[in-house]
Amino acid sequence: MSVIDLRITGMTCDHCARSAEEALNHLPGVKARVSFAEGMARVETAGTVALSSLQDAVAERGYRAEPANQAPPPAPGDSGEGLHIAIIGSGSAASAAALRAVEEGARVTLIEAGTIGGTCVNVGCVPSKIMIRAAHIAQLQRDNPFAGIACREPEIDRAALVAQQQARVEELRRAKYERTLLEHPAIELVRGRARFLARNRLLVSLADGGERTLTADRILIATGARPSLPSIPGLAETPFWTSTEALVAETLPEHLIVLGGSVVALELAQAYLRLGSRVTLMARSTLLSREDPAIDRALGPILEAEGMTLLRHRVPERIDHGSGQFRVEVAGEIHRADALLVATGRRANTDGLDLERAGVETDDRGRILIDRHMRTSVPDIYAAGDCTDRPQYVYVAAAAGTRAAIGMTGGDASLDLSAMPAVVFTDPQVATVGLDEAGATRQGIGVESRTLELAEVPRALANFDSRGFIKLVAEAGSGRLLGVQLLAAEGGEVIQAAALAIANRMTVDDLAGQLFPYLTMVEGLKLCAQTFRRDVSRLSCCAG
């Protein structure tokens, strides 16, 4: 008979000790007693039992076992070394956190119930931007402003477009997520659905059957979000699309009705319009109602000129489906269509996590409440990405994941969103950063603003496309740049310069005095800044 004393870490109660004890006693020739109070196990063995067998048995229950005569691992919070971090999810926030955590010396268990990579690469940013670009090419064939280039109706093979799109999606998922995560020796991928048992314990319902309990020093929740559905009678019984189905549909509907007036609704509505469908968009309020009203006033007529029917301030009273047609009742009218896309927002994937067992607080929409350091209401539990109350952009999620990992491994990092750029990939694109006039007023800041029509921007004139505007919002008196809102072709390539200007607390005079390359759209920022002091219509081209 030999005796081995083991130090057991990860236990939080007497039940944990009983669980570890049971696991050890299932081994042949082993008799064990585990004390939660002492954090120790005394193991008696008849014959030779490998230490690794004892450790594996305990690890199966979510704990760690080390010989008692070895030095204990560093205390959690001192550094990343020796930490076990469990991450629920595998999207942008989760992946960024996992990679940074292992850089800091932590061991990571990544738990994923669905497809690796989350929303962006699979059913969000990547496939939607491919579809939008294809639709843009189709529109240029149909209608371009150059006198010497004949316009013609494009021939669209939707199935071929989808096949090409999804091949690129799979390529990027393999390269940027699967290969990166699966090949890292410090990252273990567990396929299954996790829920909390306690503050630092998770129960994973494994994809191939069975369950596994995990205990971790830190836990990151990065479960993302999914399309949410409005409460419209009859809708749930119809074969409606969300963005997920719309992105991979291999046939083009003759008539598509889109419910929603925000980012996803507008992007996909215009894409389908340009690929050849007739499109009716019904918005509860105005287009992009959270943005400066000037965007709705300018973008709406552009979409209508392309052939889209816009119905603002409309919420269907009932939706039915029969004989291959949707029947939408709204404002006393009946609208019929071959397909219906519901793009009315997204809901955090937090139901089913049993957050109440851990004490993690959420808002009334199920979003996890976090601080600037990505900490939840519970010590050692962090959250990042679309499941939180932060803006749902992939670059925000990735940045939050990295900062969460720094915090979980003993560092200190926060996320400043005061100069967060955002882009809506319509054509022309909507791009914003910082405060608009209403937002500044709510904060008690006096402002002055200037709006420059794109007809004053030489690049737009050279393109024969002067649709849109650039608007700068500055602090009254100091002239410090507070925000930029613009509608312009390739506006997403312009907005980052504005974000840098705001982050560096530049004034409109500072911006007006910078060198910008001539015949670029970003030069419009300089020209708009100059309008605070002069009439740019009376300047020569590229006047400094």
Answer for the pair 104, 80: CB distance below 8 angstroms, yes or no: yes
pLDDT, residue 410, reads 96
Catalytic residue numbers read: 11, 13, 16, 63, 120, 125, 541-542
Tell me what the pLDDT averaged over the chain comes to: 94
Residue 316 or 543, more confident: 316
Q: How many helices (H) and strands (E) does the chain have?
A: 17, 25
Q: For 75-133, how does the pLDDT look when each residue is reduced to its tens digit (9 = 90+)?
A: 444 456 689 999 999 999 999 999 999 999 999 999 999 999 999 999 999 999 999 99
- The mean pLDDT of 484-510, rounded to a whole number, is 98
Q: Which domains does the chain have, with CATH numbers?
A: 2-67 (3.30.70.100), 76-227+345-417 (3.50.50.60), 235-344 (3.50.50.60), 422-538 (3.30.390.30)
- Counting Cα atoms < 13 Å in the Cβ hemisphere of 408 gives 40
Q: How many CB atoms lie within 10 A of CB 455?
A: 12
Q: How many CB atoms lie within 10 A of CB 217?
A: 23
Q: For 263-294, how does the pLDDT look when each residue is reduced to its tens digit (9 = 90+)?
A: 999 999 999 999 999 999 999 999 999 999 99
Confirm whether residue 267 is marked as ligand binding. yes
pLDDT, residue 68, reads 73
Q: For 366-410, how does the pLDDT look when each residue is reduced to its tens digit (9 = 90+)?
A: 999 999 999 999 999 999 999 999 999 999 999 999 999 999 999
Strand-pairing partners, residue 76, are 79
Question: What is the Rg, in whole angstroms, of the alpha carbon atoms belonging to the chain?
Answer: 28
pLDDT, residue 73, reads 43
pLDDT, residue 386, reads 98
The model's confidence at residue 66, banded by pLDDT at 50, 70 and 90, is confident
- Residue 313 zone, left/alpha/beta (φ > 0; ψ -120 to 50; rest): left
Q: For 406-442, how does the pLDDT look when each residue is reduced to its tens digit (9 = 90+)?
A: 999 999 999 999 999 999 999 999 999 999 999 999 9
Confirm whether residue 260 is marked as ligand binding. yes
pLDDT, residue 156, reads 98
pLDDT, residue 175, reads 94
- Counting Cα atoms < 13 Å in the Cβ hemisphere of 154 gives 19
pLDDT, residue 197, reads 96
Q: Render 402-444 in DSSP notation, one character per residue.
A: HHHHHHHTT-------TT--EEE-SSSEEEEEE--HHHHHHTT
Query: Is the pLDDT at 349 greater than 90, yes or no?
Result: yes
Q: Which pTM value belongs to this model?
A: 0.84
pLDDT above 90 coverage of the chain, percent = 83
Query: Is the pLDDT at 74 greater than 50, yes or no?
Result: no
Q: How far apart are CA 302 and CA 140, in angstroms?
A: 15
Answer for the pair 532, 512: CB distance below 8 angstroms, yes or no: yes
Confirm whether residue 211 is marked as ligand binding. no
Residue 86 or 7, more confident: 86
pLDDT, residue 183, reads 85
**What tokens were used for 350?**
């937090």
Answer for the pair 116, 176: CB distance below 8 angstroms, yes or no: no
Confirm whether residue 345 is marked as ligand binding. yes
Three-class SS of residue 108? strand
Q: Which ranges of 284-419 does DSSP label H, i.e. alpha helix?
A: 293-306, 355-358, 394-408
Beta strand 422-424 with 429-434 is: antiparallel
Residue 79 or 319, more confident: 319
pLDDT, residue 13, reads 63
Residue of 521, 522, 514 whose CA lies nearest to 544: 514
- The mean pLDDT of 48-62, rounded to a whole number, is 81
Confirm whether residue 261 is marked as ligand binding. yes
* CA 32 from centre of chain: 47
Residue 185 or 15, more confident: 185
Residue 428: cis peptide before it, omega within 30 degrees of 0: yes
Three-class SS of residue 47? coil
Query: Is the pLDDT at 57 greater than 90, yes or no?
Result: no
Three-class SS of residue 214? strand
φ, ψ for residue 198 (rounded to 5)?
A: -160, -175
